[in-house]
Amino acid sequence: MNPTDISTTQRVDAFVAAARPLESGDLHHLHQLCVGVSWPHRARDVTLLMSLGRGYLAMDEIERVLASGMYFEMGEDFAMIGMMMTAPRLQTLGAGRWLLDRILADCGGRDLRLNATRAAYRLYESAGFVPVATIHQRQGIVREGPLPEVVSACPVRTLQASDQAALRALDQMAFGAERRAVLDALFAVSEGTVAVRDGAPAGFALIRDFGRGRVIGPVVAEDEAMATALIAPLLRRHVGQFLRIDTLCDSPTFFAFLDAAGLDAFDTVTQMRLGKQRGGDGPVRTFGLAAHTLG
């Protein structure tokens, strides 16, 4: 589909909506939509995403924000789609599909991935996306007390600036695409842990401010034992604070570990793809997402 074939205006309910590219001054508009759909993003979170991606806003004649959509190019042949929001009063009236079509046209030829809420699942399915996995959102106030015993073959230490090149390589193996710009932006606002084998990083976990508190991710590890060993120090440092992790791992043992820490089941979304499957078949896997929008 050619972008020039898609109209820049559309009637949505009683409004004539106009779509335009996101601009640097649109932070307020995008954050306003987040609040309207009850997403936890703070202004700082939206600022980070706007620095990494491109997208569109749909607005009516009196500058009310109706919908948004963004895409995040990672390497030359892959992109994540996210920040797809429609004002609650206008959901199911076509604004979301209209913006999605514009994004699909912009991303023509790339493999695509997104994480779909229940409300948006049919929209993406109708556009040809197929389900890949379930993402489990776990969150809560970190409890005091011991965690289940963690046994990993690799010792864990604090992340250092000199680790970053090795961590990018690990992430690319797990994620299935090169996303240096994303990781560099996350390194700048995160702290973390690194699992070490023979003096070299073998896995890592980051933690940063997000939403109501802090989010753990990405988490890249060889196995569940390494993932829990990476996460455990971050939990111990944040007792009494609100933490969140979005994980592909559905192991009962892993869930029991998170339950013991106070990170209870909150919601699920469906990871979907258009194009070939990326990641998940190498020596390391993604156990915690950087964000629903960034994968």
Average pLDDT over residues 30-39: 92
* pTM for the predicted model, two decimal places: 0.91
Give residue-wise pLDDT tens across range 154-167. 999 999 999 999 99
Q: Is the pLDDT of residue 4 over 70?
A: no
Angle between helices 180-189 and 43-52 (to 10 degrees): 150
Mean residue pLDDT of the chain comes to: 92
* Residue 1 scores a pLDDT above 60: no
Q: What are phi and psi of 184, to 5 degrees?
A: -60, -40
41-93 per-position pLDDT tens digit: 999 999 999 999 999 998 877 778 888 999 999 999 999 999 999 887 655 45
Q: What is the pLDDT of residues 166-197, one digit of tens each?
A: 999 999 999 999 999 999 999 999 999 999 99
**Residue 281 CB neighbours (<10 A):** 10
| Number of alpha carbons in the 13 Å side-chain half-sphere of residue 43 | 5
Which has the minimum average pLDDT: 28-32, 70-74, 100-104, 280-284?
A: 280-284
Q: What is the pLDDT of residue 8?
A: 60
Strands 264-274 and 111-116: antiparallel
